[in-house]
């Protein structure tokens, strides 16, 4: 069965410090991968998605970046954190769908709660 891991689970960082969040998926190959951010009491904002190694699409211009160095690894980074970067960061994966149904379920990881002070 497929599982998705995120770490760390919680993180407290000072303003201006760098960030690296990691997400890995097991039990599947060639998944689509996604990074979302959820501010307190708010909805899910899509930040990046990737359909393959080295292929990253950015949805929101900001000081964050994403990379996919391996098929099942997705990394979210920042060189200098802002207060507004605080939130709940969720990684998700989906399959590629099929001819019968060209869409697939997104499964979310447990998330990383980031507080920038």
Partner 1 sequence: QQPVQSPQAVILREGEDAVINCSSSKALYSVHWYRQKHGEAPVFLMILLKGGEQKGHEKISASFNEKKQQSSLYLTASQLSYSGTYFCGTEMTWNQGGKLIFGQGTELSVKP
Whole-angstrom distance, CA of residue 10 vs CA of residue 88: 9
Which parts of 1-117 fold into alpha helices (H)?
none
CA angle 70, 66, 92 (to 5 degrees): 75
- Structure token pair of residue 75: 């990394």
Size of the site for partner 1 (CB under 8 A): 26
Q: Residue 63: which of 77, 48, 49 has the closest Cα?
A: 77
Whole-angstrom distance, CA of residue 55 vs CA of residue 9: 26
CB of 28 or CB of 45, closer to partner 1: 45
CB of 5 or CB of 80, closer to partner 1: 5
Q: Indicate whether 107 belongs to the interface with partner 1 (CB under 8 A).
A: yes
CB of 92 or CB of 116, closer to partner 1: 92
- Structure token pair of residue 87: 């939130």
Q: Residue 28: beta bridge partners?
A: none
Q: Indicate whether 1 belongs to the interface with partner 1 (CB under 8 A).
A: no
CB of 79 to partner 1, least distance (A): 26
Q: Which of residues 32-51 bind partner 1 (CB under 8 A)?
A: 32, 34, 42-46, 49-51
Q: Which of residues 53-72 bind partner 1 (CB under 8 A)?
A: 57, 59
Binding site for partner 1 (CB under 8 A): 32, 34, 42-46, 49-51, 57, 59, 90, 94, 97, 101-111
């Amino acid at each position: 069965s497929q599982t998705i891991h995120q770490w760390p689970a919680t993180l407290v960082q000072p303003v201006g410090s760098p960030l690296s969040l990691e997400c890995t998926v097991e039990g599947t190959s060639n998944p689509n991968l996604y990074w979302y951010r959820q501010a307190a009491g708010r909805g899910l904002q899509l930040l990046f998605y990737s359909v393959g190694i080295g292929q990253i699409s950015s949805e929101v211009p900001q000081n964050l970046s994403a990379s996919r160095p391996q098929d099942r690894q997705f990394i979210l980074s920042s060189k200098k954190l802002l207060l507004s970067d605080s939130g709940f960061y969720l990684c998700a994966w989906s399959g590629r769908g099929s001819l019968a149904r060209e869409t697939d379920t997104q499964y979310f990881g447990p998330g990383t709660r980031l507080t920038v002070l």
